[in-house]
Chain A
Amino acid sequence: MLQHFGKYLLFMSSLFSRTESPKILFNRTIDEAMLIGINSIFIVAIVSTFIGAVTCVQVAYNLNNAFIPRSTIGFMVREMTILELAPTITSIVLAGKVGSSIAGGLGTMQITEQVDALEVMGINSASYLVLPKLIAALLVFPLLVILAMFLSIGGGYVAGTVTDALTAQEYITGIRGDFVPYNITFALIKSFVFAFLISSISSFRGYYTSGGALEVGAASTTAVTNSVIAVLIADFVCAQLLL
């Protein structure tokens, strides 16, 4: 365990030595951002919309009390979405999608000697391949989390009004009441932390793959498992430290 952590730290430090020119880094980062961002919009949209919808329906079910205003449902959907569901669930979904893709891609490059080909050319393969993924994830994850926030709250609105759990006016009153702007900051800080953990852990697992196709599959699985565990631990630490 400690040996792995030490290797991970050395790997991370190697990303910042012998980096490519800013122009190459910029172009590679844009390519990676497109891959991570555009390809993830659909799954993030589906997951967040339904999570918002389900949250609304379940909160409505539990708040079946004449003394509690119905607008509280909208308030709770907003708070749960911003504080936890949008950043954490989106990141867990991305750990599965982006993390496995990063680990699988790098693992395949490793076993087919493409990484060696870069090294022979005198290119720092870790920096060339991984640093753009890391920067792209740091840029794109917060945007996806913001998108997830909007869609989740929108999903709650649709589910609440369609099922007659509350009126549109009650829901809007609820999501506008007692708004704390810091919660958005907190969610974005978490999304940065999760982006870093998922992209770096997946890259680390993929980069050190050796063997054949079986090992690439194993690296992808390990990358996802490790990333999800790291996200959940980081979620708790962030909540303790920042709230």
Chain B
Amino acid sequence: MIEIHNIHKSFNDKKVLDGISGVFETGKTNLLLGASGTGKSVLLKCIVGLIKPDLGSVTFDGTYFTNNKLDIRQEIRRKIGMLFQSSALFDSMTVEENVMFPLKMLAKMPKDERMDRVNFCLKRVGLENANKKMPSELSGGMKKRVGIARAIAPDCTYLFCDEPNSGLDPLTALKIDGLIKEITEEYNITTIVVTHDMNSVIEIGDKIMFLYEGKKLWEGTRDNILDSDVPELNEFIFANRLMRDAKKVEEEESGSN
């Protein structure tokens, strides 16, 4: 479980995060939802420690992280897997070397065991025969899969995904969403996904936090998001005609009943 408390962050005079608190539960896919420029990625980076918040704290399973001693933060970071928006694969390394990298650097295990783990992770994400390929030879979806395999390779406890669907076609996006959810449940890890994709909300949103202009405006699940009374959230959800039609049908059905 990850808890954040009163996170504030400004860049120069621009306030990006304004006192955000919340709890991200273990074994669930927690979504940070919001339009572009609302501070979702900055919040994610504050949580993993890539950006230092001006104020506030982050706790991983009861262990204080934000301003704790370096060795304690390092210990927590070694349990973190992260899938970046651009996949962030090391482009001088093959797929196999990318997935093996955190094992080589962080885990003390024999070479054979490392290789077995790499093959297991690649198989888990459906990339059994891509070991020797370079990142430049992969499609966007395959890169995301390798990114997920690299994130889970060292047995991570926390998985962070920054817009895992960006740049993917709807079908591949659904597959990546499904993979993230399956891995979260299978390994009982705490997953936080940054997204602005309503498909992801409907597919994997066990718990959703809606951000608007750096503030948390709404928190709930995918089951009650369509019934929210927050105008900014409704404007975001029903910007899409398909969602408006779905809402209309739902209202007609409840009216006729």
Q: Which residues of A contact B (CB under 8 A)?
A: 18, 20, 24, 108, 112-114, 116-117, 119-123
The 6 closest A-B pairs by CB, nearest first: A122-B77, A113-B88, A117-B88, A113-B84, A122-B74, A120-B82
Write the nearest CB–CB distance from A35 to chain B, whole angstroms: 10
* Closest chain B residue, CB of each to CB of A20: B105
B48 near A120 with CB under 8 A, answer yes
Return the contact of B88 from the options A20, A116, A123 (Cβ within 8 A): A116
Q: Chain B, 67-102, contact with A by CB distance < 8 Å: what is the 0/1 string?
A: 000100110011010101110111100000000011
CA distance A217 to B85 in the complex (A): 22
A121 near B78 with CB under 8 A, answer yes
Return the contact of B50 from the options A20, A108, A112, A120 (Cβ within 8 A): A120
Contacts of A117 in B (CB 8 A): 82, 84, 88, 90
Interface residues on B, range: 20 to 34
CA distance A123 to B101 in the complex (A): 11
Write the nearest CB–CB distance from A69 to chain B, whole angstroms: 55
* Closest chain A residue, CB of each to CB of B70: A18
Contacts of B84 in A (CB 8 A): 113, 116-117
- B109 part of interface (Cβ distance < 8 Å): no
CA distance A8 to B33 in the complex (A): 38
CA distance A114 to B48 in the complex (A): 15
CA distance A121 to B83 in the complex (A): 12
Contacts A112-B86, A113-B88, A114-B88 given; does A121 touch B106 at CB 8 Å: yes
Contacts of B85 in A (CB 8 A): 113
* Closest chain A residue, CB of each to CB of B73: A122
Q: 8 Å CB contacts to A: which residues of B198-223?
A: none
CA distance A119 to B84 in the complex (A): 12
